[in-house]
Amino acid sequence: MDFNPGDVVKLKSGGPVMTVEQLGKHSVTQEDTVWCTWFEKIGNKQELHREHFNPVTLEKWQRPSGTFAIRRG
C-alpha cells in the first residue's frame, strides 16, 4: 500500500478529504484495507466518521497550491 497513518486522502470518485488512521488486512476478507476518519458538518456540529476502504479506491490529497500561503518579509 502507498499510504501511511496520518496521510490525507480522498476517494478517486470524490467525497470528503479523509485522514488515514490505520492500515492492515480486513478481518473478514483478508484484503488490504485502509481505515479513514473525517468530519462532516451536520447543522452546527462537526460529526466524526470512520470507514474502511480498499486502497485502490483512494488517492493522496494535496492542498491546492496558494491556499494558506504565508508571506514573510
pTM of the model: 0.79
Scan for cell 486522502, then name that residue.
9
Residues 59/36, Cβ–Cβ less than 8 Å = no
Q: What is the DSSP string of the chain?
A: ----TT-EEEETT----EEEEEEEE-TTT--EEEEEEEEEEETTEEEEEEEEE-GGGEEE--PPTTTT-----
Q: Quick: pLDDT tens for 9-18.
A: 999 999 999 9
The tens digit of pLDDT for each residue in 21-54 reads 999 998 888 999 999 999 999 999 999 999 999 9
